[in-house]
Structure 1
Amino acid sequence: MTSPHPSVPANRLAATASPYLQQHAHNPVDWWPWCAEALDLARTQDRPILLSIGYSACHWCHVMAHESFEDPATADLMNRLFVNIKVDREERPDLDRVYQTAHQLMARRSGGWPLTVFLNPHDQRPFFAGTYFPREPRHGLPAFTQLLQGVEHAYRDRREAINAQGDELMTALAGLAPTPSGRVPAARVLDAALNELTDSFDTEQGGFGGAPKFPHATNLEFLLRRWAVGAAAGQPDDSALQMATFTLERMIRGGLNDQLGGGFCRYAVDDLWMIPHFEKMLYDNGPLLALCCDAWQITADPLFRDAARATADWIMRELQSPDGGYWSSLDADSEGHEGRFYCWDRERVRALLTPTEYAPFAAVYGLDRPANFEGQWHLHQYQTPAQVAQTQGLPLAQVESLLGAARATLLAERELRVRPGLDDKVLTAWNALAIKGMARAARVLGRADYLESAQAALDFIRRTLWRDGRLLATCKDGRAQLQAYLDDYANLLDALLELLQTRWSAADLAFAIELAEVLLTQFHDPDAGGFWFTGRDHEPLIARPKPLGDESMPSGNGVAAWALQRLGHLLGEPRYLDAAEGTLKLAAEFIRRLPYAHGTLLFALDEHLNPPETLIIRADTDLLDDWQAAAQQGYQPRRLVLAIPNSATDLPGALAGMKPGAGPRAYRCRGTHCEAPVEHLAQL
């Protein structure tokens, strides 16, 4: 989405790199980016700060921009009363996290975007917060201009009360900080999480709870891991597997998944997975790609294999930059309307397809039913190809061929439309999630091009976003900036461990160790345990959180604990294991209270209680692939396999003792115990 009023003189946001901020560069609002100069101005002039946080693919952010920020009268009021700061939540998740939490405490309800917060200019503490506000009063919300005047009057007339409220808020924020329990949670919390997911499972449509429905890839991965743990003990939990695979199947067949071009949208607004909010985010699709691969390994159902391929192909085709990094997202809107790019007129589809193609296509995707989105049809599988083959008396292979031809025709036609806006910044943490998914897909599906894609993204990060031993968080048009956050380091470490299981690279292992060391020196709290979201040398904010629960992305503390634990077992490095254990102790009460909301920490807990099996294969290059394939056969989430060629030398830590033999050999360890090397392939 570009600014609709380029004739309006550019404001300061025109000089920023963020696509979201640039969308507001021609607003008549005198916007500032978050910076010391803006904060100093507000303090000097004693003008409250209007902080507006959003992101480029956000539909309601666009609505509020059109209604209010592009309106000269509203902008004039904003400029007279406030210092106005616009923030891209994807570039500054630290600010978003702090002020979303403040909003929840003040409003006693969950937040969202756009986030609208009014700050005391002298300490940046919020005194009023909300989300979207309309141009005119409706749905119990005041008009935005009414709100602006009311907030400004409150700041002038009720200063003492505002300061007291700020003190109360800081006390409440401090009260949210976790405190260590001294003990790691017991294994029963894993069962409690499974029970909670079972109780909230939608047996009719999959997923958990009602609308809106989010993919929650972490919960589905937890269920697959529970099944695998039971299967390894000869007692597979088929109900856990059924919940995960049924949910994933409904998502794949639903409108949440782009039935023509691949890739999953952010979430569904209904309980059928039919109509999504149409933005497509990189951070969703990386984990869902890995999940589809896992489901394919377990079930051998082609539905999951094909969905994995479609998702990976979409990431490469539409989100991978020529420089290798993955871009961030596709907008929900095109031509000013949400979903316009994806929806169809029935008669246009009928005209594009042959009658032979149209008959099964309409039956599968619902064009023989009433329109499902604003008088048009958003593609959603109402029937499976097998069901349609049976009712129409056709061979299944013929139906699938006709559907494939129809999808190709419609995709080609769709490519002629005005495309949704692309947010073409590269975010380190999101790229890490995609690298992990692409590496998993490369290994499970045997696709060298997926590995090349993941490697290109990693090379971009090393080349552009790794400077002087530290990561940067974002890059746009070659301009890398902003100190990286916990999520960047933790997810990239996790992605490197996934890549190392796909192919050996001494450089990647060395990079993983460097990231682990920065996690310990910059983010780890050696006293209370856990990891702060920002580094020790980061800009001070009103709070420094240690996020524990999974949200739209996996918990940074959970990923850090899980990845450090795995790296610690590989290298025999007690500092990494101790940091992971301390994180579990810190999070213990939160995990016990809401186990299903801490899925990533549960992965770390599971492998703390039952250390993963590490299998280190040493062999000449010509034999390495066969041994690696044998070791990685099937879905084994508690097994970590590195296939290291005999030519590799100077290995770090415990790997140094795993020497080549006269022939291929595999070293099998679990925790601190290692068995005698295996020297015959059949023994694997």
Structure 2
Amino acid sequence: MASIHKNRLSSETSPYLLQHADNPVDWYPWGDEALEKARKEDKPILLSIGYSACHWCHVMAHESFEDEETAAVMNELFVNIKVDREERPDLDKIYQLAHQIITRRPGGWPLTMFLNPHNQLPFFGGTYFPKTARYQLPSFRSLLEQVAEYYRRHKQDLDDHSRSFTAILQSIGQPEASEAPDPSTLIHAKHEMEAAFDRVNGGFGDAPKFPQLSNLEFLLHLWRRNPSEHGAALEMVTMTLTRMAEGGIYDHIGGGFARYSVDARWEIPHFEKMLYDNAVFLPLYAEAWQATGDPLFRKVAEETVEWALREMQSPEGGFYSSLDADSEGEEGKYYVWNRAEIESLLSPAEYAVVEPHYGLDRGPNFEGHWHLHVARPLEEVAADLGIDVDEAKRRLASARATLFQAREKRIRPGRDDKILTAWNGLMIKGLALASRLLDRRDWTKSADRAFEFLRRQLCVNNDRLLATYKDGRARFNAYLDDYAFVLDAGLELLQCEWRTDRLVWLLKLADRLLARFEDHEHGGFFFTSDDHEELIQRPKTLMDESTPAGNAIAARALLQIGHLVGEHRYTEAAERTLKAATSSMRQYPHAHGALLDAALEWLYPQQFIVLRGNLESLRTWTAAVRRAPATAEQRLVFAISAEETDLPGLLAERKVESGEVAYVCSGMTCLAPIRTLAEFEEFLRSSGENRK
């Protein structure tokens, strides 16, 4: 029977908010209407933050927000505000930090916070609360009544609390600039990561286990800088990537990775698939393939792209946000199998390979069902069956195709089809980098479509970004991550195909980043612009969260674009960011992988190679770069047609006299122009040998 309720969320674009539009709770979106109502009626605010792919958000919604009696208590005692943390990461960052201050525990989703209506400062909070008391938690309804009563009795105390809480918030995230990072900062971080490394399963720490991709990227780039000194860094990366690719966190039937593993072995995931995770997995596997030649890494990169293009790219070009963990009300139902079902779908020869390879000859590993993971290497299975490995691979590929077609007939998990600027920036960067390393120009076209979608639909006045798009409607003032990730993505795309108009646009974004987001007093960048809605805190986040830290990606992108066009304003802003973050990097290195990677690039600048000449001829030169030794310096390579004119900044000096020419610089040091392909190939070879 259809619900008769419709609250104020029904006009929103967020799929998460729309999931709650027919709750009996009188939900408001965050905005002036709700905040003014709370002030006027002197009712505390119940702020609930979640996202559409969040399993426990669904549980709390079903238990409490869909319950008429609980909703009646909420409506009577509170002004209820629902927020999609993916649309409003500014609010989420602030109130997650507030939760941590109040409870002295990490937060999560759903986040449930109770706010003073007169200043939006929290006075109590938690995450998931059950309908009835369990898990050592009170029932949600009794909690509501206690919190409302506390507010009535302690308003004066809350005024004193507000002053002290405001002081705490303002003191957090504003580190004083310190000395710049030095090589010892990087070595200390590597040693700390080695100490936390799981030498049996890969990854860092114990269950639940998150991929910590920024740390792996830093370690891979550290090894590339000095392979003889940092062999252990490469071992940590390759072991972790192998274990994850073999584990259940990877979808062996449809490609792509889940958010995290609930166990230390990467076997059972939390089944939601997020665009941002896969966007960072993709270039990491591509770079690991380039470093090692391991075909597993190339296969995973290719299958991850296939998943993203098949299930996540919209007809307009942008990429959707996530796939739910649940289908038909059950977590993981879409992904897990009954053993008899698999046996009935496959030929006996196929099943003979699949059963031991994916662990079907063992007990069920997920609530009476089997979630597929590599239980035995294919080489062992082939040897036991008396067949060669190529035959085992053929049977496995055929079986996977059959299982994929069978799974396609199931009821799919829900898809959050809003398009987020920042997450699209990550995916564009990943696609473009992987397309270069794996020589897949078709992927470049998909990345280009997404990038032009952002320029067309999520950019105002040619330099101001918006954060989210759905159903033809772009909304919300963009955040640091939006500018930083798009800037990073654009620079990567320019290496795939040069477009001067694209560089000019990126320079406008970089200028806006400096003008609207930079902390000119302490260095680094605030998460919100100086013309953003005024909130109880203006966050400046340096640590990686579920995505790389925006300050880190901003620093790296500004270093690169500054060196490319010879603009010191950009490189100096990057340096101020790294100085502001150095003390934090040294104290908590495991939480600053992306900033450590930016510091690595600042300390040891990448080679910038600008190629000028006939584009067809230059393809041979760029192919030579792809063939260069994996231990060569990291390079940015831009192939610019001789016909391009009006290039900005330093690029205007990269002239073409006749034929092709390569301009090579590292930081502020440049070589003489290289004018023959043979000379260029010799330079690449000798550069690689010098790194060994």
The question of a shared fold, defined as TM-score above 0.5 by the shorter chain, is answered with yes
Q: 1:256 aligns with which of 249, 252, 256?
A: 249
Shift of 1:638: 2.9
- 8 Å contact kept, 1:225–1:637: no
Shift of 1:670: 1.4
Describe the superposition over 1:448-490 as per-residue Cα deviations: whole angstroms up to 9, x where unpaired.
Answer: 2211110110111011001112000000111101010000000
Aligned partner of 1:119 in structure 2 is: 115
SS where residue 604 of structure 1 aligns?
A: helix
Aligned partner of 1:55 in structure 2 is: 51
Over aligned residue pairs, what C-alpha RMSD do you find?
Answer: 1.1
After superposition, where does 1:633-644 map in structure 2 within 5 Å? 633-635=628-630, 638-644=634-640
Q: In structure 1, what residue type is equivalent to 2:448?
A: Q
- 8 Å contact kept, 2:189–2:586: no
- 8 Å contact kept, 1:568–1:577: yes
- 8 Å contact kept, 1:6–1:26: no
- 8 Å contact kept, 2:185–2:585: yes
- Structure 2 CA distance, aligned partners of 1:254 and 1:355? 25
Residue 161 in structure 1 maps to residue 157 in structure 2: yes
- 8 Å contact kept, 2:607–2:633: no
Residue 493 in structure 1 maps to residue 493 in structure 2: no
Aligned partner of 2:238 in structure 1 is: 245
Shift of 1:9: 2.1
Aligned partner of 1:20 in structure 2 is: 16
After superposition, where does 1:23-172 map in structure 2 within 5 Å? 23-172=19-168
SS where residue 129 of structure 1 aligns?
A: strand
Aligned partner of 1:623 in structure 2 is: 617
% of aligned pairs identical?
A: 53
Q: 2:216 aligns with which of 204, 207, 220?
A: 220
- Structure 2 CA distance, aligned partners of 1:570 and 1:308? 29
Q: 1:477 aligns with which of 456, 471, 474?
A: 471
Aligned partner of 2:601 in structure 1 is: 607
- 8 Å contact kept, 2:334–2:410: yes
SS where residue 543 of structure 1 aligns?
A: coil
Aligned partner of 2:552 in structure 1 is: 558
Q: 2:460 aligns with which of 458, 461, 467?
A: 467
Aligned partner of 1:451 in structure 2 is: 444
- 8 Å contact kept, 1:107–1:130: yes
Q: 1:378 aligns with which of 371, 392, 395?
A: 371
- Structure 2 CA distance, aligned partners of 1:278 and 1:609? 39
Shift of 1:518: 0.8
- Structure 1 CA distance, aligned partners of 2:238 and 2:266? 15
Aligned partner of 1:569 in structure 2 is: 563
- Structure 2 CA distance, aligned partners of 1:246 and 1:403? 23
Describe the superposition over 1:628-683 as per-residue Cα deviations: whole angstroms up to 9, x where unpaired.
Answer: 12134354563111111111111111111010121111001111121110112223
- 8 Å contact kept, 1:81–1:152: yes
Describe the superposition over 1:201-240 as per-residue Cα deviations: whole angstroms up to 9, x where unpaired.
Answer: 1111100110011111111111111110113xxx252211
Aligned partner of 2:401 in structure 1 is: 408
Shift of 1:162: 2.0
Aligned partner of 2:356 in structure 1 is: 363
SS where residue 118 of structure 1 aligns?
A: strand
Residue 544 in structure 1 maps to residue 546 in structure 2: no
- Structure 1 CA distance, aligned partners of 2:266 and 2:581? 33
Shift of 1:353: 0.6
Describe the superposition over 1:292-341 as per-residue Cα deviations: whole angstroms up to 9, x where unpaired.
Answer: 10011011111000000000010000000000000000000000000000
- Gaps of at least 5 residues in structure 1 are none
Residue 303 in structure 1 maps to residue 290 in structure 2: no
Q: 2:508 aligns with which of 508, 514, 523?
A: 514
- Structure 2 CA distance, aligned partners of 1:311 and 1:624? 30
- Structure 2 CA distance, aligned partners of 1:479 and 1:539? 20
- Structure 1 CA distance, aligned partners of 2:174 and 2:379? 52
Aligned partner of 2:585 in structure 1 is: 591
- Structure 1 CA distance, aligned partners of 2:432 and 2:333? 33
Aligned partner of 2:6 in structure 1 is: 10
Q: In structure 1, what residue type is equivalent to 2:593?
A: G
- 8 Å contact kept, 2:222–2:600: no
Q: In structure 2, what residue type is equivalent to 1:243?
A: M
Aligned partner of 1:388 in structure 2 is: 381
- Gaps of at least 5 residues in structure 2 are 681-692
- Structure 2 CA distance, aligned partners of 1:655 and 1:65? 55
- Structure 1 CA distance, aligned partners of 2:679 and 2:507? 31
- Structure 2 CA distance, aligned partners of 1:209 and 1:680? 50
- Structure 1 CA distance, aligned partners of 2:308 and 2:643? 34
Aligned partner of 1:281 in structure 2 is: 274
SS where residue 160 of structure 1 aligns?
A: helix
- 8 Å contact kept, 1:228–1:236: no
- Structure 2 CA distance, aligned partners of 1:548 and 1:122? 30
TM-score by length of 2: 0.97
Aligned partner of 1:667 in structure 2 is: 663
Shift of 1:525: 1.5
Q: In structure 2, what residue type is equivalent to 1:71?
A: D
- 8 Å contact kept, 1:472–1:484: yes
- 8 Å contact kept, 2:273–2:325: yes
